[in-house]
Amino acid sequence: MDSSTWSPPATATAEPLHAYERIRNAADISVIVIYFVVVMAVGLWAMFSTNRGTVGGFFLAGRSMVWWPIGASLFASNIGSGCSGAAVGPAGSSALILVVLLGWVFVPIYIKAGVVTMPEYLRKRFGGQRIQVYLSVLSLVLYIFTKISADIFSGAIFINLALGLDLYLAIFILLAITALYTITGESPRMDQPQPSSGLAFHEVGGYSAFVTKYMNAIPTVTSYGNTTVKKECYTPRADSFHIFRDPLKGDLPWPGLIFGLTIISLWYWCTDQVIVQRCLSAKNMSHVKAGCIMCGYMKLLRILFTEKVACTVPSECEKYCGTKVGCTNIAYPTLVVELMPNGLRGLMLSVISLTSIFNSASTLFTMDIYTKIRKKASEKELMIAGRLFMLVLIGVSIAWVPIVQSAQSGQLFDYIHYLGPPIAAVFLLAIFCKRVNEPGAFWGLIIGFLIGVSRMITEFAYGTGSCTEPSNCPTIICGVHYLYFAIILFVVTIIVILAVSLFTKPIADVHLYRLCWSLRNSKEERIDLDAEDEDIQDTREDALEIDTEASEEKKGCLRQAYDMFCGLDQQKGPKMTKEEEAAMKLKMTDTSEKRLWRMVVNINGIILLAVAVFCHAYFA
């Protein structure tokens, strides 16, 4: 292969233990230092230029974000050491379609509803509190046991390979940096496109060489003791470069990819707090759509180390990555540490971040759970509760890391496929079917959860198994492919929701204006089903004024500096009149766009959809 520009060092096949030596150069260290200096500078700017002492300021960046940080943040929430390699089949190209649905269909409804969290939208749409609390608790459980723990573990692997540090020391460093950014509320999550894929293609020799070499990427050690690993366990599949695989024998059957994966992607891209919260912080609707388009284009930008990553013999895997079940977890960190040139290696190490998930989880707890416990809590109390909950998240997530480390081939993350479809079904019907009511939505969620968790517990108890050591899970339970199971679960949930809703009292239109698609442009005044909670919010704001006035003269210099650093300073301005409050509320729920920019984003949205269709057709 031509290597006229640069080639990786001859020790590229060295064991991960010695990979840290690659980052000990002036270029990488300088990039890391410069990166953190710049981030701290941005944090200080945010500290003095934004109001982090309010719910809107801390959780939604004051709803003043422009399109490019939103697009970068959406993309960054779906990349990195934890997500690299997680996209299978058309997951990447289907995301192009889903981000368009997010920006053009779902977010306009969320903004018109004037909500901060996704469970809050369901409370406004259906009334009551049980759906809101259930979804908040479920989302937090999923964040802790999958997203946060996975990101902590994968980020620690990155630091472990790059710096040669102990895994748990790496976790401590990662969380210390994350806590500084997130608890102070100073730094929005924002990363840049990763160049490692392009460098990997350069090393392989282009796409044609990639196809050839991948089909011959077979580890040399395929036996241990008296046991020889079956050929199908380590040889690439003949249909590796085809999206539409056999519906019965394929590892990713095409009906499951088309329908099952779309259902799961709908839950992830259009109803998940981590993703949607980025869009809700936009200054207007055009910036929301432009951010989604930017994320979609960046999704389009995205062989080596066969002995390490593709190991099949347990003893070999344990030698390379410390676990017997496989070394796919080190694929992305190894690619960065061993392949990328000086400087870029340090850049990729420095952008590891957990702030998006911590901030979103804190939002869910503070707005949907803590406000039920302390109904008249002041804004300052909510800010403190949110920050303290982040510390609890960190502790629980660290305790869960060993389970993530031992998860077989990353199968732990297939479990969310058993819990996500019911949520997707509820949001889809909430927006597009105004006949659906609270009893239908609640019982649909509960029955869907019971079905999904029954399979999840069974698989967890029996183990997911591997090619060399199949699971003993009963075929009647685990024999259905998880993508097919997602379809079945989604359909069952929809049937339950519609059946219960049709046999119970419907919700009057006066409560649904601008909360569902058919009434999205209504100018009528909406009477919220959660009007009682709105009165509590008004009481909280009145209490905040009294508390601020009473404590304004008692603070010393150190206390004022502490409050400013942690975003607890209540920047009190002149009290708004009722007319000004109404105008502010109208502005916060406004989805109007200027004609020129509406045309620009619509054209780009159409282009993005066309590219998604082309990608599906080309790789079919």
Contacts of 281 (CB under 8 A, 6+ apart): 60, 61, 62, 63, 64, 65, 70, 188
Residues in contact with 13: Cβ distance below 8 Å, sequence separation at least 6, in sequence order: 305, 307
How many other C-beta atoms can be found within 10 angstroms of the C-beta atom of residue 605? 21
513 and 465 Cβ atoms separated by less than 8 Å: no
Mean pLDDT score, 241-249: 75
Q: Answer for the pair 397, 82: CB distance below 8 angstroms, yes or no.
A: no
246/195 Cα distance (integer angstroms) = 34
End-to-end Cα spacing for the chain: 29
Answer yes or no: are the C-beta atoms of 529 and 124 closer than 8 Å. Answer: yes
DSSP 14-31: S-GGGGGGGG-SHHHHHH
Residue 60: its pLDDT value, please? 52
Q: What is the mean pLDDT of residues 247-273?
A: 86
At which residue do the structure tokens 């292969």 appear?
Answer: 1
Distance CA 386, CA 121 (A): 20
Fill in the amino acid letter for 482: Y
Q: What angle do CA 287, 293, 295 make, to 5 degrees?
A: 105
Helix-helix angle 285-299:91-101, to 10 degrees: 170
- Can you give the pLDDT at residue 562? 54
Strands 223-224 and 227-228: antiparallel
Confidence tier at 369 by pLDDT (50, 70, 90): confident
Per-residue confidence band for 506, with pLDDT thresholds at 50, 70 and 90: very high
DSSP state of 433: -
pLDDT at 263 over 70: yes
Pick the more confident residue, 609 or 216: 609
User: In this model, does residue 80 exceed pLDDT 50?
Assistant: no
Query: What's residue 252's pLDDT?
Result: 80
Q: Residue 479: its pLDDT value, please?
A: 81
Q: So what's the pLDDT on residue 310?
A: 53
Dihedral sign for Cα atoms in the order 162, 168, 169, 170: positive
- The pLDDT of residue 25 is above 70: no
Nearest to 415 by CA among 447, 445, 458: 458
354/175 Cα distance (integer angstroms): 8
CA distance 415 to 456: 6
Alpha-helix residue ranges (DSSP H) falling in 127-241: 130-142, 149-163, 167-184, 196-204, 206-215
Rounded-to-integer distance, Cα 192 and Cα 196, Å: 12
Element (DSSP H or E) covering residue 67: helix 67-76
Greater confidence (303 vs 569) lies with 569
CA 385 to CA 277: how far, in whole Å? 19
Sign of the CA dihedral with 117 first, then 123, 126, and 129 last: positive
Question: At residue 270, does pLDDT exceed 90?
Answer: yes
Q: What is the mean pLDDT of residues 598-602?
A: 95
How far, in whole angstroms, is CA 120 from its chain's centroid?
19
pLDDT of residue 342: 52
81 CB-side CA count, 13 A = 29
Contact call for residues 615 and 90 (beta carbons, < 8 A): yes
Q: Under a CB-based contact definition with an 8 Å cutoff, are residues 339 and 203 in contact?
A: yes
Nearest to 301 by CA among 199, 205, 212: 199
Judged by average pLDDT, the poorest of 232-236, 305-309, 616-620 is 305-309
Contacts with 373 (C-beta within 8 Å, 6 or more apart), sequence order: none
Residues 81 and 332 sit within 8 Å (Cβ to Cβ): yes
> Which phi-psi region, left, alpha or beta, contains residue 19 (left: φ > 0; alpha: ψ -120 to 50)?
alpha
* pLDDT category of residue 458 using cuts at 50, 70 and 90: confident
Q: How confident is the model at residue 108 (pLDDT cuts 50, 70, 90)?
A: very high
Whether the per-residue pLDDT at 431 is higher than 80: the answer is yes
CA distance 275 to 283: 16
For the cut 50, the answer to whether the pLDDT of residue 155 exceeds it is yes
Per-position DSSP letters for 319-388, written without gaps between them: HHHS-TT--GGGHHHHHHHHHSPTTHHHHHHHT---HHHHHHHHHHIIIIIIHHHSTT--HHHHHHHHHH
Calculate helix-pair angle for 438-462, 130-142, nearest 10 degrees.
Answer: 30
pTM: 0.76
**Residue 245 per-residue DSSP state:** B
The DSSP-derived string for 565-599 is HHT------PPPPHHHHHHHHHHHT-----HHHHH
Cα(589)–Cα(582) distance, integer angstroms: 11
E-strand ranges in 422-487 read none
pLDDT at 577: 64
DSSP conformation letters of 79-97: -STTTTTT--TTHHHHHHH
Mean pLDDT for all residues in the chain: 72
- Residue 323 — pLDDT band, cuts 50, 70, 90? low
Q: CA-based angle 88:406:390, to the nearest 5? A: 85
Residues 6+ apart with CB under 8 A from 561: none
